[in-house]
Amino acid sequence: MEELTLIFRVILGVMFFSSGISKLKKMPEHFSILKDYRILPASLIKPFGWCEVIAEVAVGLLLLSGFYQSIAAWTTMSLLVVYTLAIAINLLRGRREISCGCGGVAGNHHLSWWLAIRNTVLFLIGGWLTEYTGTLGHFDLLFSGVSLSEVIGGQYWITLLIGLFSLLFYMSMTTLFGIGKRIESLLPSR
């Protein structure tokens, strides 16, 4: 269970941290994407955008380090609910040609029900993290007397690599899926 918890922390942590950093680098573009969703009033786009980016970077770092795992997981789940509702509202309005605005390792895609399903799976992973902790990669435990070898021993590094390879696999599959969709759109219809 500890290994699976660490893999889930790495997946969510890297996704949210990288998403927040990519948005931070392109805040005007991020504000534009938020505006495209047509959900928030114009006066709330910038404050929401800044709060969202700060929350993503913070939960990413907290999940990766193990500090306040439960709070970070609940915050992650809350963000995923907001994102999924925004996606669903726009899909029900028939607006599919909007960028999801995810960024980072999650990439940027047009809105689809696939994104809502992906977010639901990530939400369930967040739920797991509210229930299960451990010692692997929980750097906060160093302050309570747990030895460094228990926190980042050999098992930690192997599990960390598995988590990173899982992300790499996800990124590869979404890229291949996107290429397939692009090729399909270029072929003449039958």
| Rounded distance between C-alpha atoms, residue 125 and residue 167, angstroms | 14
Question: In the chain, what is the straight-line distance between the N-terminal and C-terminal CA atoms, in Å?
Answer: 50
CA-closest candidate to residue 105, choices 33, 48, 20: 20
Domain ranges of the chain: 2-186
Q: Please, which pLDDT band fits residue 87 given cuts at 50, 70 and 90? A: very high
pLDDT tens column, 115-168: 999 999 999 999 999 998 878 888 888 888 888 888 888 888 888 888 888 888
DSSP tag of 41: -
SS (H, E, C) 143-159: HHCCCHHHHHCHHHHHH
Return the CA Rg of the chain. Answer: 18
Q: What is the pLDDT of residue 161?
A: 85
Q: Which of 38-47, 84-93, 126-135 has the lowest mean pLDDT?
A: 126-135
Instruction: Scan for tokens 């789940």, then name that residue.
Output: 77
Task: Report, as an integer, the average pLDDT of 29-50.
Answer: 95
Instruction: Scan for tokens 């969709």, then name that residue.
Output: 181
Q: Does residue 189 carry a pLDDT above 80?
A: no
Backbone CA torsion sign across 141, 122, 107, 180: positive
Q: What is the pLDDT of residue 80?
A: 97
Counting every residue, how long is the chain? 190
| Rounded distance between C-alpha atoms, residue 160 and residue 36, angstroms | 37
Taking residue 6's Cβ as centre, other Cβ atoms within 10 Å add up to 26
Residues 6+ positions from 36 with CB-CB distance below 8 Å: 98, 99
pTM (two decimals): 0.85
| Highest mean pLDDT pick, 2-11, 80-89, 91-100, 145-154 | 80-89
Q: Does residue 190 carry a pLDDT above 70?
A: no
| Rounded distance between C-alpha atoms, residue 57 and residue 20, angstroms | 5
| Rounded distance between C-alpha atoms, residue 10 and residue 4, angstroms | 10
| Rounded distance between C-alpha atoms, residue 60 and residue 69, angstroms | 10
pLDDT tens column, 46-81: 999 999 999 999 999 999 999 999 999 999 999 999
